[in-house]
Structure 1
Amino acid sequence: MHKTLRLALLTLIISVSTVASAKDGDSAAQAAFKKLLSLNGVWKGVFSNGREHTVTYRTTAGGTALVETWALSPTHESMTIYHMDGTRLIATHYCPQGNQPRLEYVAAKDPNQFEFKFFDGSNLGVLDRTHQHVFRTKILPDGTIRRGEIYVANGLSIAEADKIKDEEVVVYSRIEKQTR
């Protein structure tokens, strides 16, 4: 009887620990998504070559998705949509090259650092093109954001792509805040 009771108690403790761990993991992605929602507004960045562009963040679908639109020129735009997929925070990037890489949030110790890594995508078969493999966004103490991206050639394995470290980092300043 005591052996059965101990076994039942041990099973209960392990089950509760597993659920608590899952909730901890859920909360990191959920907290990251909520923090990203605070970026609502229009931001201006300047590339190292001096070219300016704007990035707009806005929530949609009842607050369940964040749309990030890059206006690189009046006719050249890209978009990334962030959303929760169960316990994962996903970013799907809609590139002017016609591909749609999907990237997953990787939890960081710094709650203001958001790293997303490629896990799959569509329309990546054109071998003379590239796709977004990693991007990092950091909210800085002064309210600006820093963004770095790594693009890799289509056809590279994830292991090969992970070795590439070149990224241009741009700092963005908010020029308009949106309440939506």
Structure 2
Amino acid sequence: MDEKELLAIEIANFAEYVLARKAESGLAIENFAKMVDMTRGEISKITNQQRKSVSVHSFYKIAIYSGDIIENAIKAVYKHRNLELKTGEKIEERTNFGIFMRDEVEVQGQNAFDFILKKTGIDKKRLTDIYYNGGAPEPYELILIEKATGRETGELIKKFVLKYPIKKKGD
């Protein structure tokens, strides 16, 4: 499957997950939206599959604020994706300048761009986009990065959402 097909499956799976969380809550859509700190319109767009992707903010808020855990949300939304880390990939050796940059510039050398690229299997163009060009990470990308860097499941998602909240009109 290509990336567009995978994305379409994720959007459908996320819509089903949101509907299931809403049904389990027993709340009307307005109250469910308030509970997960979103608008009714945002919830409707997700459940009607009118989004282009799964927002990391929506993913986190709906899972956590509705009383679920990230692991369950991952299983529901990304069951079709291989979220295992790559093995056997050799990271290219650095030049003297590369070693200097690692030692003097990078905060955690083992978690550098090349390491993330090789371990996660995220496409280089895509990783460059989210690192440098203002693209927003998808939840599954953060899940893979968490695994590659030995983080707890949901740790980076939570930190990202809390550090970079979506600004609402008037804020």
**CA radius of gyration, larger in:** 1
With normalisation by structure 2, the TM-score equals 0.26
Higher relative CO (Cα under 8 Å, sequence separation at least 6) belongs to: 2
TM-score of the superposed pair, with normalisation by structure 1: 0.25
Say which structure is richer in helix: 2
Bigger strand share: 1
